[in-house]
């Protein structure tokens, strides 16, 4: 541990003993950590600043809109003019996100369901190696 780490730890311990860190906003609640793993490291600081200022980068705004459209489309049934125009808008947003280098698998909610079902079925099927070992 470096001298700076030791110094910081010592000050934190003193503040804890004095009770200066109690009754803070959010005390006892889990931290809400931002998942920015999809953002390149060189852009994370600037994206964080934009987010704190209330702005979203264009790609994230498109992602948010695409999720909203996907949710709306999942509640609609049938083939109306509104449904068709929403599907076209969603396809355009998906293309824009792919061109920006973002993964659009999140738009296909059925993928997660299919994966879960496949894993559940895989667990049910006996493994050939299990039969040999018995």
Residue 91 lies in a domain: yes
Q: What b/e readout covers 78-115, taking b as 16+ CB neighbours within 10 angstroms?
A: eeeeeeeebeeebeebbebbeeeebebeebeeeeeeee
Residue 13 lies in a domain: no
Whether the predicted pLDDT of 56 surpasses 90: no
Confirm whether 19 is domain-assigned.
Answer: no
In a domain, 75, yes or no: yes
| Residue 2 included in any domain | no
Number of domains comprising the chain: 1
Domain that holds residue 91: 58-120
Distance of CA 61 to the CA centre of its chain: 14
For residue 65, count other CB atoms closer than 10 A to its CB.
15
Query: Is residue 103 a contact partner of residue 38, using CB atoms and an 8 Å limit?
Result: yes
Residue 116 lies in a domain: yes
Residue 10 lies in a domain: no
pLDDT band for 1, please (50, 70, 90 cuts).
confident
Q: What is the pLDDT of residues 15-30, one digit of tens each?
A: 989 988 888 888 888 8
What does R_g of the chain's alpha carbons equal in angstroms? 24
Query: Is 74 inside any structural domain?
Result: yes
């Amino acid at each position: 541990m470096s001298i700076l780490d030791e110094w910081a730890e010592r000050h934190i311990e003193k503040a804890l003993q004095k009770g200066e860190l109690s009754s803070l906003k959010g005390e006892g609640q889990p931290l809400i950590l931002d998942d920015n793993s999809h953002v390149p490291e060189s852009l994370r600081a600037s994206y964080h600043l934009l987010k704190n200022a209330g702005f979203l980068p264009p790609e994230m705004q498109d992602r948010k809109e695409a999720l909203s459209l996907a949710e709306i489309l999942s509640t609609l049934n049938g083939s109306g003019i509104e449904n068709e125009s929403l599907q076209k808008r969603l396809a355009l947003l998906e293309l824009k996100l792919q061109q920006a280098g973002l993964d659009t698998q999140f738009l296909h909610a059925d993928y997660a369901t299919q994966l879960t079902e496949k894993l559940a079925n895989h667990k049910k099927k006996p493994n050939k190696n299990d039969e040999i070992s018995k």
